[in-house]
Copies of this chain bind each other. A is one copy, B any other.
């Protein structure tokens, strides 16, 4: 049983509906959060529903208000996230709510964006509206975990993914790795990509695997494909150089040889960084609107990303194959640990069988 003050309980079903509405746009709102909203008229009947479908499009409240029209007067608006009180790409929602004549606002979570962060709620209260806060706040936080993380830390939520054999190998000693996992697991990777704003690989992965890194159409907007290369020692031909299906950004550190770019086709985006620190790259991607990114890199970059706190979640696919091979590639390089008690210990999040392979998701 959810433990809520009595007055909040009656709003729970409507907040749940608002969350459902918010989730309709999952994977397409970055850098914005997922938001859903419903409006009840003065007699308590549902008169409007809305959700935010993407940056630049109307906010959830505005969609719901448009549906409700004049029935909003003396009504209640339920919204998963605190209404904004600033002029962004669209006007502030607080003013639209006040103007519509609503008398009550039910809010799931406070917006962590410092431009809002309680100011929206204050503005509504100051205007004489009743504000009920914290209804299903954990659920509302959960659907915007990555947005909140990016706002609070200035870099996107990082997921690291690898696929390995049952004996912990990413490939054979000769480099062969296609395919360790079967089709259902590979489809699942496309699904994960479709929920991310960017997919990052290192130069080694481009040289060895020549990947495509798309969601294979599982998302309307393909994730940004990012190559993080120290040296720009990259092949002249690569599937990633074709930017008709998805954008490609080449990020590189200060010692890279920029003459490499002269031979590349148009359409590729360049991102010059001051360091080889993965957190500088993620800071830049946050500024480009990424809330959630996927590391699909080899052991060297994966190890650096973990050490730089750029990985919050791990997705490991484990295949029931045995590869063997002392010189086979392993998922990670050395962290320099001297005792087991000092190693990284992750928290179980989700385990499922994908065809014959396992998929284990964990949190750092």
A105 to B35 alpha-carbon distance, docked (Å): 71
The count of identical subunits is: 2
The answer to whether A356 has its CB under 8 Å from any CB of chain B is: yes
Task: For A337, list chain B residues within 8 Å (CB).
Answer: 172, 323-325
Which B residue sits closest to A306, measured CB to CB? B322
Task: For A320, list chain B residues within 8 Å (CB).
Answer: 345-348, 360, 362
Contact B348 A322 (CB under 8 A): no
Which B residue sits closest to A160, measured CB to CB? B322
The answer to whether A127 has its CB under 8 Å from any CB of chain B is: no
Contact A168 B330 (CB under 8 A): yes
Question: What interface size band does chain A fall in?
Answer: 35 or more
Contact B166 A362 (CB under 8 A): yes
The answer to whether A226 has its CB under 8 Å from any CB of chain B is: no
Which B residue sits closest to A325, measured CB to CB? B334
The answer to whether A2 has its CB under 8 Å from any CB of chain B is: no
A 115-126 binary contact with B (CB < 8 Å = 1; else 0): 000000000000
Task: For A321, list chain B residues within 8 Å (CB).
Answer: 340, 343-346
Task: For A360, list chain B residues within 8 Å (CB).
Answer: 166, 318, 320, 358
Q: List A277-333 residues whose CB lies under 8 Å from chain B.
A: 303, 306, 314, 316, 318, 320-328, 330-333
